[in-house]
Amino acid sequence: MSSRMSAWFVTVVLLSMHLVSSSDSDPLQDYCIPSPELSSLFPSSCKNSSLVTVDDFVFSGIKSPGDSMKTGFSSIPVGSSAFPGLNTLGMSFVRADFEPGGINVPHYHPRATEIAFVLDGTIYSGFVDSRNRVFAKVLEKGEVMVFPRGLLHFQMNVGDTTATILGSFNSQNPGLVKIPSAVFGSDIKEELLGKVFGLSWKELAKLRKKFAPTS
C-alpha cells in the first residue's frame, strides 16, 4: 500500500471513529431556552437570559398517564418541543404506561441509548443485538435496564396491574422506528414483503391496513 493510500486509510478510520463516538453537540452556553418570537426565522435562537425563569426548567406533563385504553399502551415523549428547558442539553425523556398484557412493540432509536426505570408493575423487557442474541428478563418495580443505541428492544406488561416505565435518552432527538409500522405501514412493495415473510396478498393487505399511518 502506498504512503498516500495509507494516509487516506488512516483518515477514513479516524473519521469513522469520530462519527461512531459522537452524540449531540456539546452546548456552548449554560442553557438555551428557544425564543418563541424568533424560532420561526432562526430555529437556534435563544431567549434573552434575563427573561428566563425557573418555570422554563420545570415540566408537569407526565404526572398523569396517557390514554392506553384502546391499545393497552401509551407513551408521552418529553423532548425540547414540549419541554423547552431541554433544548441543546442532549437529552430527552418518555413516560410509558401499560395495561395488563400491554405491549411496546419492537422498535429502536437510531440516535440514542435508552435507560428505562420501572416505576410500577412487572415488565418483560429486552433487546436484540446484531448477532440476533436476545437479552431479556422480567423486571420488577425499581429495576433499571439499558438499551444500547440503535438496537431493537421491546417491553410487555406481564403482571396483573398497570405498569409504568420512565425512559431517559442521551439525545435531544433520539428518533423512533417501530418495526411493524416501518415494514407494513410503508410503501415497500408487496411482492418483496410476500417473499420475505411468506405471506399471501390477503394477509399483506390486512397488515397494511392495520399499520397504515394515521393522519
Q: Tell me if 114 is assigned to a ligand binding site.
A: yes
Rounded to whole angstroms, the maximal C-alpha distance in the chain is 66
Q: Tell me if 107 is assigned to a ligand binding site.
A: yes
DSSP-derived secondary structure for 163-195: EEEEEEESSSS---EEHHHHHHSS---HHHHHH
Check if the beta carbon of residue 96 is closer than 8 Å to that of residue 77.
no
Cell numbers for 82: 414540549
Q: Tell me if 153 is assigned to a ligand binding site.
A: yes
Whole-number Å distance between alpha carbons of 18 and 14: 6
Q: Tell me if 18 is assigned to a ligand binding site.
A: no
Q: Which amino acid is at 45?
A: S
Buried-state track 33-69, b at ≥16 Cβ within 10 A, e below 16: bbbeeeeeeeeeebbeeeebeeebeeeeebeebeebe
Whole-number Å distance between alpha carbons of 61 and 12: 44
Annotated binding-site ranges for oxalate: 104, 109, 114
Annotated binding-site ranges: 104, 107, 109, 114, 153
Annotated binding-site ranges for Mn(2+): 107, 109, 114, 153
